[in-house]
Every structure is written in structure tokens, then in C-alpha cells.
A and B are shown apart, each in its own frame.
Chain A
Amino acid sequence: MRLRSFIVLRVLLTIPMILILVTVVFFIMRVLPGDPVLAVIGSRNASEQQIELLRHQLGLDKPLYLQYLGYIGSLLRGDFGYSMVRQDPVTTELAIALPPTIELTFWSMLLAIPLGIYSGVMAAKHAGGKIDASIRIGSLVRWCVPVFWFGLLLQILVVLYGLPFPIAGQANSRIVGVPDVTGLYVVDAVLGRNPQALADAFLHLLLPVLTLGTTMAASITQIARTNIIGVLGEEHIKVAGLKGCTDERVFRKHALPNALIPILTYTGLQVAVLLQGAILTETVFSWPGLGRLLIVAVGYRDFNLIQGCVILFALVVSAANLIVDISYAIIDPRVRF
């Protein structure tokens, strides 16, 4: 199979998966108790007629299979429906909430990958020694600390010691003159040549990124250590040493590149964990991203908005898996056959 047909096949395979997921989520939400009409109306004294009217407006009085077919039909046309709570197309809501989440996860991974690989390398180089033991214990303990509690601890430290970091939000509202081009505050500040806004964006990113980034780094450290130790035990490493390579060269040229492939694969597969962590981090730091949107949508049983969020999350996860598979196929031709 040629590389191009491999990629095409892989992309085509994600479509039925997303479709099945949408179907499962669609029916789970409608079968389980929890009425969106009552959630929207709340405790207000609504008459039977009002309830019926709202139910009709939301299209919830139609038979289930008609609702489903209608939803899938509009989905195929790129229409995610209307959000009940926000009174807005779901796509608009998603487009507003996506950039903050991208910003948070991007900087977190930018911290996590080098930190995780570096500490994994340090541990593997001193395997069995004191450095190794402390890195192993440290990463294990950090892995066991829930994301949200780590975030709270950072906030507590900032408050108790009066440190000058913002503990919530994405930007200081007093800063003006930033063009709204991408929705990514750092990029926008650079585009607007506004150093004050740039500094402010980074200050607000600091605590959330530390929270999410170190969580991811902890798991990358563990996997990096295991893989590097595994590669160091292989025959070609001994051969390289016997040829007269220095230890440093053996490590850099022969061990690390081979270990990096599984490490990066694993990192790609951790995207689900990253998103899960992002939801909690966003809640801790009042970060206006997709996680917060999902929590709001779930609170009001806003079916269309929930489905939109779920599709977006699933798309991100399968896109990451796709990239991992494709890069694997490029690096290792055996995968294609």
C-alpha cells in the first residue's frame, strides 16, 4: 500500500467512528432522565402550554428517529444546530471557546514534552541510582496528584505569599488595544505589537500551564525512562560501544533517536488525558475554553451544545491518533503493509 492510500484509508476510517460516537451520545442523552425543557425553564411556574410550546420549538416533541435523522442530516451539511442556553449557533459557541483551549493545551505540551523527556533521560542515564529513584518517585507522586488539586495548591501559594500572579481568567480587562484576530491572546498581542498585553497573556497562562504541563510531564517522564532503558539494553548499543563510540555519542546518536519514536507516539495518544485535564484546569482557573463550555452545556442539558463539544473533542482525539499513525507509517514503512 502506498503512503497516500494508507492516509486516505485511515482518514476514511475515522468517519464511521465519529458517526457511531455521535449516535451513542445522541441516544444516551435522550434515553436517560434529565429533561432540557425543565432545565431551561427551571423552577419558574410554567404552565403545561408553555412547556409544550418550548418542547415544540426545540423539536423535542418529534419521534426520536426523526430527531436523529434530522440532526445527522444537518450535521452532514456542517450545521451543528442551535444552542438552547446561549441562543446562538453551536458552531459560533465552539469557535469562541476553541482558541483559549488551544492556547492552554499548546503551552502545556510545550512545557511537558521537553521537561518529560529530559527527566526521563536523566533517570535512564542513572538507572538504579539515587537520581533515578528520586525522579521515579517524583513523577509517580505528581501523576497521582489530581490536576484540579494541584491548581488549587498553586492558587493557595500565590494568595498566602502574596505573589504577583493572576489566579483566574485569561486576560486583564483593563488592557486595551489588542486586535481580535485569532482569539489566541499571545498571538493577538504579538500581531498588535503590544508588549504589555503579551506580558499579561503570559502571566495569566503561567499557573494553568504549570498545572496541566507538569501533569503531562509526569507521565511522559515515566514512559521516556522505560523506553530509553529498553533501547539501552539492545545489541546495537553494545556494538556501538565496542566500535569505540564515547558513552555520550552512543546515547545521543544510537539510543535516543530510537527511543524517541515510541515516546512521541505515546505522547500523541495522551491527548485524551490532556483534554480531560484541560476541562478541570479551565474550571479551576476560570479559563473560558471548551471545558467550561461543556460544563455549562451539561448543566442545562443543552443537547446540541453537548453534542457539538463531544464531536469536537472526539475529532481532536482522532486527529491526534491519525497524526501518530501517519508519522509512524512515514518513519517505519512496515506499518503500511
Chain B
Amino acid sequence: MSALLKLLLTKSGMWPKSSRTMVIAGAVIVAIVLSLDAYAHIVGLNPFTTSHQVLSPPSFAHVMGTDQIGRELFSRVSFGTTFSLLVAFVSVAISVSIGSAIGALSGFFGGKTDRVTSLAFDALYALPPLIIAILIAAMIGPGIINTGLAIAIGYMPQYFRVVRGIILSIKERPFIESTRSIGAGYGRLIFHHMIPYAIPSIIALITLNMGSGIVDVAGLGFLGLGLPPPTPEWGTDLGRGRDFITSGAWWPSTFPGLMIVISVLGFTLLGQGLDEIFRSTSTKQKEKF
């Protein structure tokens, strides 16, 4: 892990130029989103107070206007950051830990168990993540952990495949055999000597899936299966706001969407940039661990 940080920090001059631009742009955007979130908490904006000024358009008094029950859209949108990022983070954390753990064990021990788990994850892979999320979310109901779990299951096959593939490719290498011959247990072999090879790919995947996780959280919210109102959540808010489009009130469904795009763009840029960097340096870095 420390070797990885060193690689990121000291060798930044050797990164391909376009991926460096992507990483920096992505990091800046993510930082802006996070500081908007921090601002909402520090200033103490209240996303729940209703007022009589229902659906008033954006003005100096209400930067983004107010929604159908007179709540300040700006405070809802900035508070929504907390919930969207939190649920996306929970989902990524669940899918990366379960997906890669099963992938590592399955690839390491092989045999029948490996064939069965691979088939099961392949079957899961045949369904789009959002469809799985819809099924699970409808069954277990909303909530930060529940919604996160619903989204996580559809992404597990990705981590399973990546980690299993990497473990399979290195498990016959001489250094694993020699480590085993000096008495290293399975746990130490897998977690100390094999998983580190998968970390760069996992980090890139995590960052990219933070982006798709945010879209999925909003998608579930839009379909009415996400965090329930009055929680300020972008997808739920813009889904509720769409009833007022025909009467000309465009702001309740525009600004939450804008925040989704900005934060997804940040994580996607960061993820794609990191992916390119790890790919370009993967040959040099193999000796470093």
C-alpha cells in the first residue's frame, strides 16, 4: 500500500499527460462537491423548513428557487450531497469487500467451489446492476444501508472477476510457492502476497463505481425506491419535481440533476485517469511490491 502511495506521489512526472489532466480535474471537481457538502453542514442550512413561497423561481433570495412545499432548493441540493455520497460509498464498500473476498478465495482454492461461484456470478452479471437494485430495494425497503446493499449486489461480479483473474494469474508463480514453503498460511498468502497485486485495479474500479453508484442511488430515488422523503436526496427530489414541469417550474428537477452530473463527472474523470496510469505503470510496478 505504501509502495502504491509512493508510486502515485513521486512518479507523477511520468504519468501520461492526458491522464494526469483527468486525475487533477476529477480531484478538483470531487473537492468542490465535498466542500459544498461541508459548507451546508457548517453554515447550518436547513433542508426541511417549509415556507409559503411555493415553487418560486431562482432569485437573489432563493439561489435555486424553492420546491413544491416551499423548501429552499439550494439547501436541499447541498445537503443531498451527504446522502448521495454516503449511500454510494456504502454500496461500493459492500461490493468491494464481499466481491473481492469471494473472488480471492474462489481463485485461490479453485476446484468445484470455484466453478459454482463463477457460474453464480456470471448469472448475476447477465442482469444490469440497476435491475438487481430495483428488485432488492423493493423487497428490503429504503434506508442508507438497505439502499447501499441493493446497489452493491449488482456490482459484486466486477470485483469478483478482477480479483479472481489476478489471483489465478499469479498463484502458480515461484514466489508464492517459496512463501508457502517457508510456512506462510493461506490467510497470509492471500492477503499479504496476492491481494496487493489487485489493489491498483480495485482502486480504479472503486472510483469509477462511486460515479455509477451515485447515478444508481439517484435512479432508485427517481423510481420512488430510494431514500424516502423528507430526506434530501437528488434522485427523489428531481423525481418529485417532475410533476411541475408541465406548469413551467423547471428548477426543482433541474438543479438536483446538475449536482448528480457534476459529482459523477468528478469520480469518472478520477477513475478513468487512475485506470490509465495504473495500466501504463503496471509493468514497472510489479517488482515493487
Contacts and interface: CB of A to CB of B under 8 A. Distances in A.
B139 A301 contact: yes
Nearest to A283: B223
Nearest to B246: A159
Nearest to A284: B242
Interface range, B side? 35 or more
B254 interface: yes
A310 B131 contact: yes
B250 A148 contact: no
Contact of B139 (A28, A143, A167, A310): A28
Contact of B127 (A141, A283, A317): A317
B140 interface: yes
Interface string B115-126: 000011011101
Identify which of B138, B215, B223 gathers the most chain A CB atoms within 10 Å of its CB.
B138
Interface in B15-72: none
B131 A152 contact: no
A144 interface: yes
Given A146-B218, A152-B242, A299-B138, A294 B131 contact: yes
A323 to B, nearest CB: 14
A18 B134 CA distance: 19
Contacts of A153: 254, 257
B260 interface: yes
B129 to A, nearest CB: 7
A69 interface: no
Given A140-B265, A144-B211, A159-B245, A149 B123 contact: no
A317 B90 CA distance: 28
Contacts, number: 132
B242 to A, nearest CB: 6
Interface in A123-154: 140-141, 143-146, 148-149, 152-153
Nearest to A315: B126
A146 B141 contact: no
A160 B247 CA distance: 9
Contacts of B159: none
A313 interface: yes
A152 B113 CA distance: 46
B141 to A, nearest CB: 7
A72 interface: no
A181 interface: no
Interface stretch (A83-91, A199-207, A254-262, A272-280): A272-280
B148 interface: no
Interface string B173-215: 0000000000000000000000000000000000000010001
Interface string B226-259: 0000000000001100100110101001100100
Q: Is the interface of B mostly helix, strand, loop or mixed?
A: helix
Contacts of A318: 126
A66 interface: no
Contact of A144 (B119, B126, B264): B264
A25 interface: yes
B106 to A, nearest CB: 15
Given A21-B126, A28-B139, A29-B139, A298 B245 contact: no
B265 A34 contact: no
Contacts of B222: 146, 148, 280, 283
B218 A155 contact: no
B139 A34 contact: yes
Contacts of A275: 128, 131
A317 B131 CA distance: 12
Contacts of A294: 131, 134
Interface string B124-152: 10111111001110111100000000000
B140 A149 contact: no
Contact of A24 (B123, B138, B250, B264): B123
Contact of A21 (B127, B129, B141, B223): B127
A146 B123 contact: no
Given A21-B127, A146-B260, A152 B245 contact: yes
Contacts of A41: none
Interface string A164-175: 000100000000
Given A24-B123, A272-B127, 9 more contacts: A21-B127, A32-B136, A144-B265, A146-B215, A148-B222, A155-B245, A280-B130, A299-B138, A314-B123
Going nearest first, the 6 A-B pairs with the smallest beta carbon separation are: A149-B257, A276-B128, A32-B139, A298-B138, A34-B139, A21-B123
7 contacts: A17-B122, A146-B260, A148-B222, A159-B250, A279-B130, A280-B222, A313-B127
